């Protein structure tokens, strides 16, 4: 079967516009409108149940009192390190809110209002004992105490459960609210909570001051004892060391050490000079050699004698300018020079004799001075140690005295504050008894419930629509299957109800004058088949479907009736596994399988339907090998003979997914028409069948959408204008 060109000509071009990916809001609206009464009914039912529920709820009331929180109340005292409250910043206010909601404040409210005696929290003693039989043996006093505890805990839980506190933005005001089913209690407890918070803070402040005073008294006694002990230690130390003015004594000792240090330094220098000369005298024996030594020349005695000698020499030089050598003055001057030089030599010899004694004397002097310096230093260090001990004792006394004075001043301040009542805030606006509940908001609950029900029902409808993967309209065929629609066949109904199966319908329904829409649909299909090709005479038309019970045989039979009105036509049933044509026409005779097997002639197998003037070849005897028969040359020869005798040959084939017989028959046909059961067959099944045909290089000429519910389709506008054109709505 060569259908490639025909298929390409007949199939509608695929449009890859992005509009196919957009949401079809019109269709969604159509789906919602289709199920509008179900949606409305569900919404009304939910609204009724919600109304009953809302009006059965207990009304809840709320009252609120306004407090002003002081942020600088802690400045009333100066004991910052002992009991100052940090009141700056946002943390302070959030802390106060938690205190308002605390158990301590709630307990104070219960106590002030005697809520544990309120009838609301009274315990039914008989019922409680029935529920707790283990306590029956208790005495009356024990039972009464337990009942009081239960009532107290109920009242406490009641207060804490309904209490609320929230800040008012950009102010120092706090809203203290209470929520309850009893309007009088809301105002009463709200006001009581504000006052209890203030009273609690005052009580805590006073207790803190009292504790501080007690602690300061105890500490002050110990500090006094410690101060007296340190003063006694200082006095005992001064008396023991006989210290009057240790600063002056230490100054004298320091001066003595400094003076002795200078003397030691001078003695060391003298010893060094003496030692040098002494060593030189030990090394040289000649007077002349010794006289030329710098160390000897610098000795005071030698230095003085040499100076006198130079003076005499200068005088001789002056006299020589005037007198001769033999002049008495010259002779006297020369004699003086000789005497002075002799004196120098005598001093040098004398120095040699005394230098040893001087050296030993300098050693003894240096040793004595060093001993005196060491003794002076030891005395100075002892005085320093005593001064340090005295300073430590003095500092201890000063510290103890300062600490004692500080604590004494704090104690005096605290004593003055014991009678002061510092408030943390004040009530700005008292709570009033509310006259209308804050909840439940019946109108809002009902509105939200109905809106939710409507949205939920719409969502379910749209979800069901989205999950519907069947083929229902022209758009589905063209966009999802990629082929064109040859025609639609309306659903046949009996008494306004859908027919359960094709077997219950007269297959000559084409001739039913009461259902004009069905016959017009078949005629439209006939026209579409005739227009499939203009350049080639189409004789053999094969019709198949995806799965059984899609109405394929019904469409095939009635199409054959319509074509038979214009041309000589024969209908062949090639479904050799589950044939239906013979049963539908009421023909029980030999057929296709008998002819191909050679058991009967062609004339014996062709039956004539007088009502439709149509020739029919039934499937005949069900063979064990249907595919071998359909693929045989006898079947090809049969079609060749029938082409010569008939204008149109309509072939009913098996479903594609069931068996592959239809693909064998389709190769011998000029056209292959595909029947799809509207709103029943899944898209995945159809695509699988079309893929099998494509793999076999077989292309369909078009799709017939069968069993279309016209009333349902009209609601969707799936075939808008299609029915009107052919009078389907009449």
93-130 pLDDT per residue, tens: 888 888 888 888 888 888 888 888 888 888 877 788 77
CA dihedral 312, 318, 324, 328 (to 10 degrees): -50
Question: Model confidence at 542, in pLDDT bands (50, 70, 90)?
Answer: very high
485 CB-side CA count, 13 A: 22
Q: Is 115 exposed, middle or buried (0-12, 13-18, 19+ CB in 10 A)?
A: buried
* pLDDT score at 571: 92
Total Cβ atoms within 10 A of residue 103: 10
Question: Model confidence at 80, in pLDDT bands (50, 70, 90)?
Answer: very low
* pLDDT score at 498: 55
* pLDDT score at 650: 92
Number of residues that this document lists for the chain: 730
Task: Determine the 3-state secondary structure of 135 from DSSP.
Answer: helix
pLDDT above 80: residue 309: no
Question: Model confidence at 348, in pLDDT bands (50, 70, 90)?
Answer: low
Two tokens, residue 161: 């459960």
Task: Determine the 3-state secondary structure of 643 from DSSP.
Answer: helix
Whole-number Å distance between alpha carbons of 645 and 617: 14
pLDDT above 90: residue 52: yes
Question: Model confidence at 431, in pLDDT bands (50, 70, 90)?
Answer: confident
* pLDDT score at 76: 42
Average pLDDT over residues 163-183: 88
In this structure, of 406-415, 578-587, 593-602, the range with the lowest mean pLDDT score is 406-415
Question: Model confidence at 447, in pLDDT bands (50, 70, 90)?
Answer: very high
pTM: 0.50
pLDDT above 70: residue 426: yes
Find tokens 């609204």 and name the residue: 47
Whole-number Å distance between alpha carbons of 670 and 375: 143
Task: Determine the 3-state secondary structure of 484 from DSSP.
Answer: coil
Report for 251-260, 350-359, 402-411, 616-625: range of highest mean pLDDT? 616-625
Mean residue pLDDT of the chain comes to: 77
- Bridge partners, residue 64, by sequence: 177
pLDDT digits (tens, 9 = 90+) for 459-487: 998 888 777 777 777 777 777 787 888 88
* pLDDT score at 74: 43
Q: Is 93 exposed, middle or buried (0-12, 13-18, 19+ CB in 10 A)?
A: middle
- What is the CATH architecture of 61-214+421-429? 2-Layer Sandwich (3.30)
More confident residue, 214 or 15: 214
Q: Superfamily for 468-726?
A: P-loop containing nucleotide triphosphate hydrolases (3.40.50.300)
More confident residue, 367 or 573: 573
pLDDT above 60: residue 500: no
Total Cβ atoms within 10 A of residue 572: 29
Whole-number Å distance between alpha carbons of 483 and 9: 11
* pLDDT score at 427: 84
Gyration radius of the chain's alpha carbons? 67
Q: Are 647 and 619 in contact (CB under 8 A)?
A: no
420 CB-side CA count, 13 A: 16
pLDDT above 50: residue 593: yes
Average pLDDT over residues 693-718: 77
Whole-number Å distance between alpha carbons of 588 and 714: 41
Report for 50-54, 281-285, 359-363: range of highest mean pLDDT? 50-54
* pLDDT score at 87: 44
* pLDDT score at 534: 64
pLDDT above 70: residue 713: no
How far lies 69's CA from each of 88, 95, 112, in Å? Answer: 12, 11, 22
In this structure, of 30-34, 212-216, 557-561, 684-688, the range with the lowest mean pLDDT score is 212-216
- Bridge partners, residue 608, by sequence: 615
CA angle 514, 519, 524 (to 5 degrees): 155
Residue 394 φ/ψ region, left for φ over 0, alpha for ψ in the -120 to 50 degree band, beta for the rest: alpha
* pLDDT score at 454: 92
Two tokens, residue 233: 């230690």
pLDDT above 60: residue 68: yes
pLDDT above 90: residue 46: yes
- pLDDT above 90: percentage of residues in the chain: 9
Whole-number Å distance between alpha carbons of 399 and 627: 121
Average pLDDT over residues 711-726: 54
In this structure, of 201-210, 480-489, 690-699, the range with the lowest mean pLDDT score is 201-210
pLDDT above 90: residue 40: yes
* pLDDT score at 274: 72
More confident residue, 717 or 435: 435
Question: Model confidence at 292, in pLDDT bands (50, 70, 90)?
Answer: low
pLDDT above 70: residue 656: yes
* pLDDT score at 367: 80
pLDDT above 50: residue 373: yes
The crossing angle, in degrees rounded to 10, of helices 516-530 and 552-564 is 80
Helices then strands (H, E): number in the chain?
Answer: 27, 14
Two tokens, residue 115: 């809520």
Two tokens, residue 549: 């019970």
Total Cβ atoms within 10 A of residue 460: 14
pLDDT above 80: residue 620: yes
* pLDDT score at 239: 66
Q: Where are the domains of the chain?
A: 25-57+440-465, 61-214+421-429, 246-416, 468-726
400 Cβ contact partners less than 8 Å away, ≥ 6 residues apart? 223, 226, 227, 230
Q: Are 376 and 255 in contact (CB under 8 A)?
A: no
In this structure, of 42-51, 133-142, 378-387, 538-547, the range with the lowest mean pLDDT score is 378-387
More confident residue, 175 or 532: 175
Pairing of strands 61-69, 173-180: antiparallel
* pLDDT score at 448: 94
Whole-number Å distance between alpha carbons of 17 and 663: 34
pLDDT above 60: residue 179: yes
């Amino acid at each position: 079967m060569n259908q490639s060109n025909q298929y390409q000509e007949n199939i509608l071009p695929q449009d890859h516009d992005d509009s196919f990916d957009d949401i079809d809001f019109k269709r969604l609206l159509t789906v919602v409108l289709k199920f509008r009464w179900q949606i409305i009914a569900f919404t009304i039912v939910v609204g009724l149940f919600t109304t009953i529920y809302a009006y059965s709820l207990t009304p809840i009331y709320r009252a609120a009192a306004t407090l002003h929180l002081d942020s600088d109340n802690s400045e009333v005292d100066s004991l910052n390190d002992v009991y100052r409250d940090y009141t700056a910043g946002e943390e302070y206010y959030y802390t106060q809110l938690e205190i308002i909601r605390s158990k301590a404040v709630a307990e104070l409210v219960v106590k002030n209002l005697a809520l544990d005696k309120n009838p609301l929290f009274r315990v039914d003693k008989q019922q409680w004992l029935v529920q707790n039989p283990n306590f029956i043996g208790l005495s009356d006093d024990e039972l009464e105490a337990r009942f009081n505890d239960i009532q107290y805990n109920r009242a406490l839980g009641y207060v804490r459960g309904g209490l609320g506190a929230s800040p008012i933005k950009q102010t120092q005001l706090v809203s203290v609210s209470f929520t309850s089913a009893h309007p009088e209690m809301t105002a009463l407890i709200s006001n009581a909570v504000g006052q209890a918070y203030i009273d609690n803070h005052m009580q805590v402040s006073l207790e803190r001051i009292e504790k501080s005073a007690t602690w300061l008294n105890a500490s002050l006694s110990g500090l006094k004892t410690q101060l007296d002990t340190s003063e006694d230690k200082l006095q005992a130390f001064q008396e023991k060391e006989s210290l009057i003015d240790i600063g002056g004594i230490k100054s004298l000792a320091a001066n003595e050490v400094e003076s002795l240090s200078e003397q030691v330094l001078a003695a060391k220098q003298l010893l060094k000079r003496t030692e040098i000369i002494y060593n030189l005298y030990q090394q040289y024996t000649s007077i002349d050699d010794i006289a030329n030594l710098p160390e000897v020349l610098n000795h005071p005695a030698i230095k003085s004698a040499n100076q006198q000698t130079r003076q005499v020499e200068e005088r001789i030089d002056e006299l020589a300018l005037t007198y001769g050598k033999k002049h008495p003055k010259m002779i006297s001057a020369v004699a003086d020079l000789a005497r002075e030089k002799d004196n120098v030599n005598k001093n040098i010899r004398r120095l040699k004799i005394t230098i040893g004694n001087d050296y030993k004397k300098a050693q003894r002097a240096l040793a004595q001075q060093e001993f005196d310096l060491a003794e002076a230093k030891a005395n100075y260090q002892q005085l320093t140690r005593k001064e340090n001990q005295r300073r430590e004792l003095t500092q201890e006394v000063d510290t103890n005295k300062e600490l004692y004075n500080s604590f004494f001043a704090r104690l005096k301040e605290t004593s003055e504050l014991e009678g002061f009542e510092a408030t943390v805030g004040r009530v700005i606006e008292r709570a009033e008894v509310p006259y209308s509940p804050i909840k439940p908001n019946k109108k809002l609950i009902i509105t939200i419930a109905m809106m939710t029900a409507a949205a939920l029902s719409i969502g379910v409808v749209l979800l069901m629509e989205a999950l519907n993967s069947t083929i229902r309209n022209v758009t589905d065929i063209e966009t999802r299957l990629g082929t064109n629609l040859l025609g639609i066949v309306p659903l046949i109904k009996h008494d306004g109800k859908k027919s359960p199966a094709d077997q219950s319908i007269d297959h000559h329904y084409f001739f039913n004058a009461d259902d004009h829409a069905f016959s017009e649909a078949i005629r439209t299909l006939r026209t579409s088949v005739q227009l499939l090709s203009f350049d080639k005479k189409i004789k053999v038309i094969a019709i198949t479907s995806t799965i059984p019970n899609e109405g394929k045989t019904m469409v095939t039979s009635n199409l054959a009736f319509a074509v038979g009105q214009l041309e000589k036509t024969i209908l062949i049933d090639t479904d050799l596994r589950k044939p239906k044509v013979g049963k539908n026409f009421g023909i029980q005779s030999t057929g296709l399988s008998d002819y191909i097997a050679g058991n009967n002639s062609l004339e014996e197998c062709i039956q004539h339907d007088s009502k439709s003037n149509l020739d029919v070849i039934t499937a005949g005897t069900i063979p064990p090998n249907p595919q071998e028969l359909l693929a045989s040359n006898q079947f090809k020869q049969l079609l060749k003979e029938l082409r010569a005798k008939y204008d149109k040959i309509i072939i009913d084939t098996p479903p594609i997914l069931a068996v592959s017989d239809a693909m064998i028959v389709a190769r011998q046909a000029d056209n292959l028409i595909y029947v799809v059961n509207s709103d029943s067959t899944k898209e995945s099944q159809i695509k699988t069948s079309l893929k099998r045909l494509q793999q076999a290089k077989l292309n369909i000429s078009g799709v017939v959408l069968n069993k279309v519910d016209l009333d349902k389709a009209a609601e969707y506008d799936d075939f808008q204008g299609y029915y009107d054109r052919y009078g389907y709505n009449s």
